[in-house]
Amino acid sequence: MFGDYKNIENFKELCGYEIDGFWYPRVTKIVDIKSKPALYHFYAGMENFAAGEKVKKQSAAEGTLIHETVEKLMVGEHPPIPDSIAPCVNAFIEFSEKNNIQIDPQYVEKRLCNYEDRYAGTIDAIGLIDGKVGVLDIKTSQAIYRDYNLQTSAYVAALKDQIKGLTTRWILRIDQSQPCVKCGALLRSKGGREKIKIDWKNPSMKLCAHEWDAMQGYIELQEFPYWEPDYHAFLGAKKLWEWENDEWLKKAGYL
């Protein structure tokens, strides 16, 4: 059987949620079936697989800390902000106030279920931005990847009949890095790994003896209003994931 699972209880815990007495696969687990070129490129640049796993695990922990801190701010709490993530969290606070991003506290870190298409998930938030209501998904990656559209389309499809006026979705990327005071290159430190981002078309960046300034937070917000085509692709990924895990899903009573 596919997957490194100890038993059916382990499979169900890692891959889904129990809702109203029935088990549903989780959105993020379903989209894992799709290949991830950026992730493969990351591993290719590491010394070995174990080193890549170590960086990946630490990066995930750092991303979780940012997520949890920002989500507490969204519901009106005033959590302590660790120095390690203060630049990006403060950048989020400033960006949110400047752009008048309004969050519904009852939909922060909210569990959802699509009973018709049979999957479940947890959204980061529902926001009101520029007069539009949509799913707001927070990422701490170094870029906004197209894969995220599969995940967010599933959230919109599950909530469109529950939330009045829900029409769109946004990816809010929260990051931090140190800019070079000489050429503008960026030094990004995450997961115990430092990486320099430069514009390869700019010769001065390639030749610069970088001098790094203090850590700065960066916010990127992108809207993806046309979610239906992405949802069709998500359902295709779901079919493939079900095929790959059919034995476990039979044991779970899902198939």
Predicted pLDDT of residue 150? 97
Instruction: Quickly count: other Cβ atoms within 10 Å of residue 207's Cβ.
Output: 8
Q: What is the pLDDT of residues 87-117, one digit of tens each?
A: 999 999 999 999 999 999 999 999 999 999 9
Domain hosting 108: range is: 8-247
Ranges of residues in the chain with a pLDDT under 50 are 1
Q: Is residue 2 part of a domain?
A: no
Q: What is the pLDDT of residues 64-80, one digit of tens each?
A: 999 999 999 999 999 99
Interatomic CA distance for residues 70 and 72, integer angstroms: 5
Q: Is residue 75 part of a domain?
A: yes
Q: Is residue 218 part of a domain?
A: yes
Cβ-in-10-Å burial (0-12, 13-18, 19+) of 121 comes to buried
Domains in the chain, number? 1
Predicted pLDDT of residue 3? 62
Interatomic CA distance for residues 84 and 69, integer angstroms: 12
Q: Is residue 45 part of a domain?
A: yes
Predicted pLDDT of residue 140? 96
The SS3 call for residue 242 is helix
Instruction: For residue 199, give the CATH number of its domain.
Output: 3.90.320
Q: Is residue 3 part of a domain?
A: no
First to last CA, the chain: 15
Predicted pLDDT of residue 200? 85
The SS3 call for residue 243 is helix
Q: Is residue 254 part of a domain?
A: no
H-assigned helices in 16-173: 27-31, 37-44, 49-74, 86-98, 148-159
The SS3 call for residue 87 is helix
